[in-house]
């Protein structure tokens, strides 16, 4: 990759990255149009190949960039000091929702990558993919206090049911907010409703003393 890309101002870099993510997410690598990318990025037709040698180099750069961005701006921000599984997921859900709303094209691009069979990924990214899955798993489950759960509950099944419930609400929230102006929107009522659902989950799965 040409160092000139890194020398661009951040706004122009972001336009190119988002335009490329959107095109690859919607059409896949083979059918993605570099003409459409430069049009959406609002750059001259020849400039993309001044920054990147070819479409494959651009594609691989995007994978690297988006994986790093997701780790730094989402996964690493999830703390593991909270021992309450539902409270941990509350924190993660808020961070993930904000990340999705602020980076929709990157999220769609990575989603199309992760939904592929692992063997279809470029070989150099398979190890990184596994490392990220291990990190994401540790962020959810490390240091969780399972004694908060009722004794008659299968903890592993409870983990899955709680996670599915929270992820379902989170996706519904993302769908409701994705086309709105977040800088002026009061999102507190949405989170208040979310926290009410979490109280229901605690009532269902936790011992009485485990509810906060």
The C-alpha atoms of residue 145 and residue 136 are separated, in whole angstroms, by: 18
What are the residues facing 149 on neighbouring strands? 206
Sign of CA dihedral 62, 65, 69, 75: positive
Alpha-carbon distance values, 206 to 19, 55, 136, 150, 169 (Å)? 45, 52, 24, 5, 20
- Residue 195 has what pLDDT? 86
* Residue 34 forms part of a structural domain: yes
Same domain, 16 and 96: no
Same domain, 87 and 156: yes
* Residue 62 forms part of a structural domain: no
Instruction: Write out the residue range of the structural domain in which residue 45 sits.
Output: 3-53
Helix (H, G, I), strand (E, B) or coil at 149: strand
- Residue 83 has what pLDDT? 95
Q: pTM higher than 0.85, yes or no?
A: no
* Residue 58 forms part of a structural domain: no
The domain tally of the chain equals 2
What are the residues facing 206 on neighbouring strands? 149
Which CATH number do you get for residue 36?
1.10.10.60
Same domain, 124 and 46: no
- Residue 209 has what pLDDT? 64
Same domain, 181 and 121: yes
Same domain, 44 and 149: no
| Positions in the chain short of pLDDT 70 | 1-2, 115-122, 178-185, 187, 209-212
Supply angle C-alpha 210, 136, 11, rounded to 5. Answer: 120
- Residue 210 has what pLDDT? 47
């Amino acid at each position: 990759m040409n160092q000139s890309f890194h020398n661009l101002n951040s706004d122009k870099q972001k336009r190119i990255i988002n335009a490329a993510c959107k095109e690859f997410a919607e059409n896949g690598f083979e059918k993605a149009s570099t003409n459409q990318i430069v049009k959406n990025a609002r750059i001259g037709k020849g400039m993309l190949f001044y920054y990147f040698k070819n479409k494959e180099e651009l594609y691989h750069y995007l994978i690297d960039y988006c994986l790093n961005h997701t780790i730094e701006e989402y996964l690493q921000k999830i703390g593991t000091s909270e021992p309450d599984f539902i409270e941990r997921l509350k924190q993660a859900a808020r961070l993930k929702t904000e990340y999705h709303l602020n980076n929709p094209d990157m999220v769609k691009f990575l989603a199309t990558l992760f939904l592929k069979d692992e063997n279809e990924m470029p070989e150099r990214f398979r190890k990184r993919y596994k490392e990220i899955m291990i990190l994401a798993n540790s962020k959810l489950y490390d240091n969780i206090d399972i004694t908060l759960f009722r004794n008659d509950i299968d903890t592993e099944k409870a983990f899955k049911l709680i996670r599915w419930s929270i992820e379902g609400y989170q996706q519904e929230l993302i769908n409701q907010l994705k086309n709105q102006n977040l800088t002026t929107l009061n999102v507190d009522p949405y989170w208040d409703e979310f926290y009410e659902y979490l109280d229901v989950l605690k009532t269902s799965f936790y011992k009485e003393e485990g509810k906060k």
